[in-house]
Amino acid sequence: MPRVAQLAPTLAVLVLAGFGLAGCTAATARDDTQPTLKAPAAAADPVTDATPTPEPTEPETCNGMSEVVSYTNDWTWQRQGILRDLGAREFAEGTVAFDDDGNPSTYTVAAGDVEAVIAERLCAYPNLDSMNHVRMIQPGQVLWLTPNPDTPWVPYFGPMEAEAGFQQIPYQRAIESAGAAVDAGDIDTVRAIWNDTLKGMFTNQGTIDAVQEVVDSGDPDALRQLFS
């Protein structure tokens, strides 16, 4: 009996410790049942348009200006540089025709057109009016843009060899009359104007012979380049 009495305090301590462990276990179990807090989900990226916005384009410009020049300084002229049509614009709203290579070949003048703006549209120096033997362009007029270097061409304001004091007005009127006759298909009148009036205003025999050959042939296209 005394032995049991001695063990009683020890047993009491063990019992109390057992209850304590049970309590901790129970508390741990209860904590595990608590809901787990989650971090809020990242906001979704807003939907964007997959099509990129096109960059603004600069208006097309001329890389270089084309001009009509004479390499012989008398009756043979040709175009130096390539024409380009940059599109209709105010004061140059006429119609462009193209050759087989896609180069502008003729321009039909629209009402309100200005020769310098037409030249700007076509990347050409502004000499289209004199090249077509007129002082001022007119609506409906068809301007040819590139001379044939194998066909003679005479200047509108006077022969290349004209000296100071040359009478331009009679010369220009004769050129315009010959051009009107060419456009009307009246070859006989063209020949008469050249032989009776214009020929005597030239002094360069090479020019006279070249033009005379075309006038005698009666080729409408070649005559048009000469006078129209």
Quote the mean pLDDT of the chain.
82
Residues 71-77: contacts with CB under 8 Å, at least 24 apart: 73/160, 74/160, 74/161, 74/204, 74/206, 74/207, 75/152, 75/153, 75/154, 75/160, 75/204, 75/206, 75/207, 75/210, 75/211, 76/149, 76/152, 76/153, 76/210, 77/147, 77/149, 77/153
Q: Structure tokens of 74?
A: 């008398």
Task: Please check the confidence at residue 1 and state whether its pLDDT lies above 90.
Answer: no
Q: Higher-confidence residue: 93 or 75?
A: 93
Q: Higher-confidence residue: 45 or 161?
A: 161
How many residues does the structure list for the chain? 228
Q: Over the stretch 23-57, which tens digit does the pLDDT of each residue have?
A: 444 444 445 555 555 555 555 555 555 666 666 55
| C-beta separation of 144 from 224 below 8 A | yes
Burial class (CB in 10 A: 0-12, 13-18, 19+), 228: buried
Q: Over the stretch 211-222, which tens digit does the pLDDT of each residue have?
A: 999 999 999 999
pTM above 0.75, yes or no: no
User: Measured between alpha carbons, how far is 120 from 62 in angstroms, rounded to an integer?
Assistant: 8
Average pLDDT over residues 199-204: 94
Task: Please check the confidence at residue 19 and state whether its pLDDT lies above 70.
Answer: no
Average pLDDT over residues 180-184: 95
User: Measured between alpha carbons, how far is 153 from 94 in angstroms, rounded to an integer?
Assistant: 25
The domains of the chain are located at 61-150, 151-228
Task: Please check the confidence at residue 13 and state whether its pLDDT lies above 80.
Answer: no
Task: Please check the confidence at residue 209 and state whether its pLDDT lies above 80.
Answer: yes
Q: Structure tokens of 179?
A: 């051009």
